[in-house]
Amino acid sequence: MLSIAVMVLLSCGTKEETATEIIKEEGQQTVVELNAAQFKNAGITIGFPVEINMHRTIKVNGVVDVPPQGMVSVSFPLGGYLKSSHLLPGIGVKKGEIIAILEDQSYVQLQQDYLMAKAKMEFLSTDLVRQKELSEQDAASKKTYQHASAEFKTQQVLIRSLEEKLRIVGIDPEKLSVNTISRTISLRSPINGYVTKVNVNIGKYVNPADVLFELVDPDDIHAALTVFEKDIMQIKKGMRASVTLADKPEKKYEVDVILVTRNVDENRGGLVHCHFENANHELLPGMFLNGNFELDYQKTVAVPASAIVRYQSKPYIFIAKDSSRFEMIEVEIGISNQEMIELKGKENIDWKQQKVVLKNAYSLLGKLKNKMEDD
């Protein structure tokens, strides 16, 4: 194993305070030796890691989503020409509000068929009563009565089907009369929400399969968050989290878990669906979200964040070999918050009994790196 000897001069203000720092690599460990003056000027603090209760935070990202029942595609089952509409994307609508008026001769034909069927029904009803009386008095054949009865029932079916067709297009059969026949039909909003898409213009003919408008119910908007497979088993229904917009991290929205998917996608993540606790918000479908789940508290051995240094994307800590020698070793870190970072267990080291550099650890690493580059 290659060993490296580096001479580092620490300026202490006077020649008498200048000393030699010996750095050598022992396997994968780097040892720094300081005298008392150097130690004082470096501002290093030494102490023991502490056992504290910390909660783990799972960071997630996702989007504002709408379940199928919260997004409505509005079409018209008979087709027709769009006569008028005031809708634009973003406009709010109320359930039952007229959102468009359509016009077509087929609407007139449907109303005509219904009213004529009702008029014929009056005749068939009277004729059925008459044929029944004649049959009972043997004044007419039973076959004639049976024929009248069948015609009456057939007309009942026809009227009922025409009533349902009228209801589908928004016409109340009970209010339809000769004087109320109209060539236009009003299309009404099926939900409270707002418009996301307008696919038609005035004068355009729309087919029954065409989607005229798309509406969203804001009360059904939820957060669809992606959690990596190593963490997803810890997310349970009812857990709470906070999410923020990617461009507005200062404003938090509280959510609670309503569903955890039971599959992992090709990116090794699973979806967690969360309900917004406050429905009165300005979030729109498709917006990107960042979020945090805070798990239950657990006992950990931790050090201040200032004790951990990063070198070549790996975390290190300086342990005190004695009062003047410090050894930089790679560590595995766990839970963290703004102040403390968990130290995972390491073979042959009892962190609670091991003195480490708690403050200004980066001053040691900085001097070490600078001298290595010079050499």
Listed in sequence order, the residues at least 6 apart from 8 whose beta carbon sits closer than 8 Å to its beta carbon are 20, 21, 23, 367, 368, 371
Tokens standing for residue 372: 């290595």
- The closest of 342, 327, 333, 296 to 315, measured between CA atoms, is 333
CATH class of the structural domain 71-216: mainly beta
Question: What are the residue ranges of CATH 2.40.30.170 in the chain?
Answer: 59-69+218-297
**What pLDDT is attached to residue 326?**
82
CA distance to 198, 247, 271, 291, per residue, from 261 (Å): 33, 27, 6, 17
- Each of the 375 residues of the chain gets a pLDDT tens digit; together they read 333 333 232 333 333 333 334 344 443 357 777 777 777 777 788 889 888 887 777 888 899 888 877 889 999 999 899 999 999 988 989 999 999 999 999 999 999 999 999 999 888 888 777 777 776 666 656 777 788 888 889 989 999 999 999 999 989 999 999 999 999 999 999 988 889 899 999 999 999 999 999 998 877 788 889 888 888 888 888 888 888 888 888 888 888 888 888 878 777 888 888 888 876 667 788 889 998 887 777 788 888 888 888 888 888 888 888 877 888 888 888 877 778 888 888 878 888 888 888 888 777 776 666 555 555
The fold of 59-69+218-297 is: Elongation Factor Tu (Ef-tu); domain 3 (2.40.30)
Tokens standing for residue 50: 């502490």
The pTM for the full model equals 0.56
Compute the distance between CA of residue 318 and CA of residue 309 in angstroms, rounded to an integer: 9
Question: What are the residue ranges of CATH 2.40.50.100 in the chain?
Answer: 71-216
Neighbour-count burial for 298-321, b at 16+ CB within 10 Å, e otherwise: eebbbbbeebbbeeeeeebbbbbe
241 close to 272: Cβ distance less than 8 angstroms? no
Binning the chain into helix, strand and coil, the percentages to the nearest 5 are 30, 40, 30
Residue type, 316: Y
Compute the distance between CA of residue 165 and CA of residue 78 in angstroms, rounded to an integer: 9
**CA 351 centroid distance within chain:** 40
The fold of 6-52+301-374 is: 2.40.420
* Burial class of residue 196 (count of CB atoms within 10 Å of its CB; 0-12, 13-18, 19+): middle
Residue 73 parent element (H or E)? strand 71-74
Residue type, 7: M
**What pLDDT is attached to residue 373?**
56
Tokens standing for residue 302: 């931790």
Question: What are the residue ranges of CATH 2.40.420.20 in the chain?
Answer: 6-52+301-374
DSSP 174-220: GG--GGG--SEEEEE-SSSEEEEEE---TT-EE-TT---EEEE-GGG
**Residue holding tokens 């650890």?**
361
